[in-house]
Amino acid sequence: MNDLISKPEKGKNNNIVWHHATITRQQREKQNGHRSKVLWFTGLPSSGKSTITHAVEERLHQMGCHTFVFDGDNVRHGLCSDLGFSREERKENIRRIGEMVKLFIDAGIIALTAFVSPFRADRERVRNIVGEKDFIEIYCKCSVEVCEKRDPKGHYKKARGGEIKEFTGISSPYEEPLSPDLVLDTACLSVEDNVGEIMRLLIERGIIQKGIR
């Protein structure tokens, strides 16, 4: 029996065929009243990514938008609970998120992600997965010094003491985006001001309409 089944290429199952849904992304976007995109927030630990991401979702929800936040810690409790923080495991973590947010975009949802995602190559890989037009890279810019002073989870202190290995900003590098769609000054500006910057960008690009419901 096994001789009747051709051996698939490495990393690819030739017996799997993509099924095209009868309901299109465009139909879902029309029903939702807005376009679907991924807002990819990146930055050092404690730079304000999660706080701003959830604040943006709250604003969009109040406007009647369909949204979902992928938070770094939450994802590692489930989808990526089998991964550690080595270079290769971080790469796989981001790849999985990229594939997941692509499905949410097809579902007509505005997907917001809050991940350190320290390496440019990994972020570019997600951009390639979801498509250039659907990937909005938002850099939460904040110095290591300010992030370390905040340190709400005590991770910087543990990293300095050697308790956490491969910690971004201390023992592992962070590669700043070269041409992000938006740079947020999370060291000096308030959460409200940064949320305002993001909302303006979404309106300018026609992703949402002002005051939609």
Active site residues: 117
Contacts of 12 (CB under 8 A, 6+ apart): none
CB 181 within 8 A of CB 201: yes
CB 111 within 8 A of CB 37: yes
| Angstrom distances, CA of residue 71 to CA of 16, 31, 79, 128, 211 | 30, 26, 11, 21, 26
The SS3 of residue 136 is strand
DSSP string, 58-114: HHHHHTT--EEEEEHHHHTTTTTTT--SSHHHHHHHHHHHHHHHHHHHHTT-EEEEE
Only one residue has tokens 């910690």, namely 167
Which tokens go with 18?
A: 């993509």
